[in-house]
Amino acid sequence: MGRKGKKIQQDDWESEVDAIAQENAESAYDGVALESLFAQLLAAGVVSESDYDRATDELASGVKSERQLMLEWEKKTCRKDEAATADQQAAELGSSGNLKDESAAPSDDALSETMQQSERHIEAWRRAAKSDPMQLPLARMTAVCLSGTYGVSTHADRNVRLWDSATGRRLGAHQHKLELTACCAREECVAVGDAAGTVHIYDTESEFVPLRLTGGSGAVRSIELLRVEGGTLVLGSGEATLTAWFTNTDGSPASRAVPLNFALKGLHLSAGPSGCVYGASRSLVTLYDLNASAAAWRAGGGEWPVTEPVWRGCWAASTVASVVDAFPGSTACVPSRPLSYSPFWKLLASAHDEAVALWDVRAAPEQGPAAVVRAAGGSAWVHLDEGQGMAGHLLIAPQAGGCVQLYDVRRLSASRGASAVHAIVTLEVPPSEGAVCFAAKSSTLVVGGVKCSEAWRYDGVQSQKPEGASNQEPRTTPPARSKPKRQVSTAGRRMFNRTK
């Protein structure tokens, strides 16, 4: 009695019976469920007979249970169905040459809400035109872009400046050796081009020092940045060639320049759908899908694969009263942005001579522009709203100088043939004797010019002035010269850099 007996372990026979029954149920195969699944998949053409043989061999050898195989092949076939749908849509795009709207037709309530929002944003532009613009210290501006919370501009003194888009507060600057002829800003990336064909890339999240991309031919007329897999595709358009660079996401040096040889003189660029770019040369407009070409070029190297346009339109001779060469044989490159795409409205605005054409990219290009607006004195800068605020506006700056005109795109449907269409809003520009440049976002406009001593900023949404900013009356005479304040550098960022 004094000895301790061994502890008797109780058998959990009920759990063992349940486990054995479950194992037998999973291992038992009558072939009904799996055969039924594969019969459906074979009839749909998603799987092959070899796939079915492979699955039955795995089941017979005990490698996988019937339930595991069912789940596995349901997931595989689901992905194959999605890929087949994408291929079918791509085939329809290639065969028809039209960009289809993938979104479903909106309901009456959704359409009514869209129209109301559009009216509110048009009214915001009217408020902006009536308010006093904010003065920004951006003298002799040749090009400007707005992206997110910052703005970037190039100037006649060969400077590129980075500033806060709400207050105009200076964030960084860099002076180049040569004249700057184009600029583009997308998210944290800024690209500027110079008269020698070099593109300079800036990262707004780090020190404001450029990465040089050489290899272009002639002055850079237009720049566009496209997000592709693994990095950013930089496109720079010269007088007769289009050059591509690729910058990696990890910040490593860019790949070498590759001429794309689209054989279009004076090509202007505007980002389209993901990985696509619109181009305009005189009265010709095209869309290029660069996703596959960029992937093939990165994988194989060498020359850029031949890229054919997936959409191509040309103005009819009767659309424009007098067709004039928009790019005369001059060595000077005057910055301009006569091409703009709105992803929300699926519209492309293309300026040529004294008219601006609106193309509905979902329609066949043979139908011609959906509407045409006559711009007295020509037009060098155009902008279509991106659709974030659903304002439905088109901004035009005359090439010969003057006010910026705003048009409601919904009222232009009856304007085919370049008939007279009245602007609904007119925004004054700083005193100048020549053309102006501008950038817009929602109901915000920043406008200046190479002969302007400052830039003006309009805002129709902002209800109160930003801290430290003042809305003064527009000046009619140049301001008196005063000693500039010394810029204090901050840690990790140089406020001013000069190209050595």
Average pLDDT of 150-165?
95
- This prediction has a pTM of 0.69
Interval 15-42: pLDDT, tens: 554 555 555 554 444 455 777 777 777 7
Q: Give 263-275 pLDDT, tens digit per residue.
A: 677 789 999 998 9
Residue 21: the pLDDT is 53
Element (H, E) at 51: helix 49-60
User: Is pLDDT of 214 > 70?
Assistant: yes
What was the pLDDT predicted at 327?
Answer: 34
Q: What pLDDT does residue 445 have?
A: 95
Using the predicted structure, report yes or no on whether residue 148 has a pLDDT greater than 60. Answer: yes
pLDDT tops 70 at residue 395: yes
C-alpha dihedral sign at 164, 225, 191, 204: positive
Instruction: Write the pLDDT tens digit of every residue in 276-291.
Output: 999 998 888 999 999 8
pLDDT at 455 over 80: yes
Mean pLDDT of the region 109-114 = 61
DSSP string, 395-432: EEEETT--PEEEEEGGG-TT-TTT-----SEEE---S-
- How does residue 495 score in pLDDT terms, banded at 50, 70 and 90? very low
- Section 213-224 average pLDDT: 87
Distance CA 208, CA 131 (A): 34
Strand partners for 347:
342, 360
pLDDT average, residue stretch 416-431 = 77
High-pLDDT (> 70) share of the chain, %: 69
**Rounded distance between C-alpha atoms, residue 35 and residue 438, angstroms:** 66
The pLDDT value given to residue 331: 40
Give 158-202 pLDDT, tens digit per residue: 999 999 998 889 999 999 999 999 999 998 899 999 999 899 999
